[in-house]
Structure 1
């Protein structure tokens, strides 16, 4: 149990830095409420879960190959540009204030979480940082130890998401449609910024190869 809570705290701390996932969760939480923001987080956790399984199966070496990682930079940039454009274009659409029923589907928010999570930043993070941590925790005589560590990390991320969205849901109660519209626009611009960073890393990696 101590091992689980140790890695729960680790997952909580690692989820705190602001990234594309946090931006998308906050935006959806403000526009459509707690459940839609959480749907984004669940989409991200789905990818995290499968990456843990991949690391467990020893696929970290494959995922870390330049031929795999480099295309992921441009793919991730494409996904973030798509989400950023959608965020700005529809900044004044699908806004439901506190007490109103959202028109947007839960699945569409979940899909956005998947798109943000399938990015090199997320993949490289799991492979480089947690690849080492999870590898150290892997014991062929005690494979359940690895699973406890993975479960603790996911629980920490989940705790962070719930805490963040609880704050967002409370803030949303005093926000007007105009305020939410402008926050959605700013969120789109931030996503464009992350996309630009991904393109930059793509170019840098290509220069290093050639």
Structure 2
């Protein structure tokens, strides 16, 4: 079981490496408000991952696969990303805390940002496709214990990625001034809006396909 766990730790680490909306939001919050805020964005994203694992365990994969469910998730994800992206641009000069300055933004707010950004059919497709298959195979071969060992390994790998990324960001922000962080925040906002547009396009495509 130990070797199985560490095998899937590396899988979780590798699947967290590609830059997506969560990574962008983590980086932005980490630069503006420090290590914990960036990490809490990641924890928000992992909460969605955990919920999807539980749903898979209880056999709700067919429901998550329904076109109408995924269509609504495209829309919800688009709206959340649009709001967070616009807020990032509008408040780019605000809430920048360097050195020992205490952030005004709450950790709960950063956590919710990560939670909302992670709500997307992209996450569902991943967990149903790659992860769903892996968990199904482990469940068949080793039962409940194997299922949870694999799930814990992948989540541990994602957590490891988040901690490493935030450590790098925390060390980097020491050398940055407010102007640089401001423009990084603006860039992050536009990237998040780009993801929102992509989600919106996928929503309309799914609506036409359902219709």
TM-score clears 0.5: yes
Query: For 1:53 and 1:148, how far apart are their aligned partners in 2?
Result: 13
For 1:58, the equivalent position in structure 2 comes to 59
**Unmatched runs of 5 consecutive residues or more in structure 1:** none
| Matched position secondary structure for 1:138 | helix
Comparing 132-141 with 63-72, greater Cα deviation is found at 132-141
Offset of residue 140 of structure 1: 8.1
| Matched position secondary structure for 1:95 | coil
Query: For 1:141 and 1:128, how far apart are their aligned partners in 2?
Result: 20
**Unmatched runs of 5 consecutive residues or more in structure 2:** none
Per-residue deviation, residues 107-144 of structure 1 (Å, max 9, x unmatched): 00001011011122222221222111111111386211
Query: For 1:32 and 1:141, how far apart are their aligned partners in 2?
Result: 43
| Distance change >3 Å, CA 174–CA 151, structure 1 → 2 | same
Query: For 2:190 and 2:54, how far apart are their aligned partners in 1?
Result: 33
Instruction: Give structure 1 regions of 4+ aligned residues with deviation exceeding 4 angstroms.
Output: none
For 1:181, the equivalent position in structure 2 comes to 182
For 1:158, the equivalent position in structure 2 comes to 159
Comparing 134-143 with 67-76, greater Cα deviation is found at 134-143
**Conservation of the 8 A alpha-carbon contact between 1:33 and 1:98:** no
For 2:80, the equivalent position in structure 1 comes to 79
For 2:26, the equivalent position in structure 1 comes to 25
| Matched position secondary structure for 1:139 | helix
For 1:203, the equivalent position in structure 2 comes to 204
For 1:126, the equivalent position in structure 2 comes to 127
Query: For 2:22 and 2:125, how far apart are their aligned partners in 1?
Result: 15
Task: Give the TM-score taking structure 2 as reference length.
Answer: 0.96
**Conservation of the 8 A alpha-carbon contact between 1:26 and 1:165:** yes
Offset of residue 207 of structure 1: 2.5
Comparing 19-28 with 55-64, greater Cα deviation is found at 55-64
Comparing 24-33 with 129-138, greater Cα deviation is found at 129-138
For 1:167, the equivalent position in structure 2 comes to 168
Task: Give the TM-score taking structure 1 as reference length.
Answer: 0.97
1:112 aligns with 2:113: yes
Alignment of 1:34-53 (within 5 A): 34-53=35-54
Aligned length: 210
Per-residue deviation, residues 84-126 of structure 1 (Å, max 9, x unmatched): 0110111011110122211111100001011011122222221
**Conservation of the 8 A alpha-carbon contact between 2:68 and 2:210:** no
